[in-house]
Amino acid sequence: MPSRRASRPRGYASWERYAGLAYRNRAVLYAEMGEHGNALLDAEAALAHRERDAGLYAFVGVCHHRLGDHARAVAAFSGALAQAPHAGLFVLRGNVFSSMGSLAGLVSGMQDFTRAMHIDPTLIEARVNLTVALRRLGAMKQAWRQATQALQLSPRDGRVLAVRGLVSLEAGNVFGALLDVDAACTAEPTADRLCNRGVLQMLLGSRTAAMDDFRRALQLDGRLGVGWHNVGCLYLENRQWERARESFDEALRSAVDGGSNVDEASCLMNRALAHSALGAQQLAVVDMDRVLELRPQWARAWLNRGHLRAALGEDGAAEADYTRALALSPLEAAIYVARAVVRGRQRRLGEAVQDHAHALALSAA
């Protein structure tokens, strides 16, 4: 009687090789579609057929990184490096370490970027990532030096110019930052770079040039929340309240849609200012309530909500907000003055006089 046990097909070794290729190729397709969970499953299945494929280990590491599993990503890249210690693999593992959000991870990432540079001193990506890590540590001189060395290797590299520009800005050299970011925009005018140049133009007082940059950035990426926010801030300065409110609406919409990273609390507070200027005080209060949910330790937010409540005639609630603001920022004379006004309206004249005295003492200090 013939055996029912499944037998290996003819050409089993060849079948193993093609099965590994099929899994790997489908994994790549899944990754291009953004389905990194499915890509990971296929890549791991491919590894069962191609156990010594360093590229597959690296691919598994990328998938784990995209899925937020840092520990497994590091393990996968370490497996790839055990088979093929390439500079690019050290960069990939360094990126995982750097994204862990801890000082230890950042230091481990810098070590991997340095190893990559020892293997291949011309690898620009390793120097760029090391520059970013040094900037995050606050080591601006070392970061600027690394970026400059990278530019010696590739003088027109927009990535390096943009990163050195940010380092110069944080070191207080706004004009030097503008020169680098401007060169980066010339090399490749991406939305982020144009937006960064616009911010630098604002810092240097060139409002028209800044608006032009923000608008160009939004033409390239209409979901760039920080671009909409910056446009809104310029409209606020120009007292164009309706346009400002519309811009902040777009910025907040992009944050909800995941278009880009935007400071939701700052955006909401600025929209509250636009609401208030347009007479929509209740809408402004709603925005400020949300701001304080996001950032309860922000004294300026308590002060602004206090102003809104005072404008609505809610003097008791306004006083409570001013008192909370003073608890967070006790040396700000303007808050004492604001609280004195609402206390005076409540006929608590003695306390109002005391607040004015505090304000005068702080102003004279």
Residue ranges per structural domain of the chain: 205-295, 298-365
**pLDDT at position 50, please?**
63
- The pLDDT of residue 3: 43
Q: What angle do CA 169, 170, 176 make, to 5 degrees?
A: 25
Residue 18 pLDDT: 61
CB 177 within 8 A of CB 169: yes
Q: 251: closest CA among 299, 236, 112, 3?
A: 236
Per-residue pLDDT of the chain (365 residues; tens, 9 = 90+): 444 444 445 544 454 556 667 777 787 787 788 888 887 777 778 777 766 777 888 888 889 899 999 999 999 999 889 888 999 999 999 999 999 989 999 999 999 999 999 999 999 999 999 999 999 999 999 999 999 999 999 998 999 999 999 999 999 999 999 999 999 999 999 999 999 999 999 999 999 999 999 999 999 999 899 999 999 999 999 999 999 999 999 999 987 766 567 899 999 999 999 999 999 999 999 999 999 999 999 999 999 999 999 999 999 999 999 999 999 999 999 999 999 999 999 999 999 999 999 999 998 87
What pLDDT is attached to residue 328?
Answer: 96
d(CA 146, CA 246): 41
Q: Which residues of 336-358 are buried (b: 16+ CB within 10 A; e: fewer)?
A: bbbbbbbbbeeebeeebeebbeb
**pLDDT given for residue 6 in this prediction:** 46
pTM comes to 0.77
Asked whether the domain spanning 298-365 has the same topology as the one spanning 205-295, the reply is yes
CATH topology of domain 205-295: 1.25.40
| CB contact set of 323 (below 8 Å; sequence gap of 6+) | 339
Burial of 178-214, coded b for 16+ CB within 10 Å and e otherwise, reads bbbbbbbbebeebbbbbbbbbbbbbeeeeeeebbebb
pLDDT number for residue 127: 95
* Under 8 Å between Cβ of 195 and 231: no
| 298-365 belongs to CATH 1.25.40.10 | yes
Cα atoms in the Cβ-side hemisphere of radius 13 Å centred on 52: 1
What's the CA gap between 50 and 44, in Å, rounded?
Answer: 10
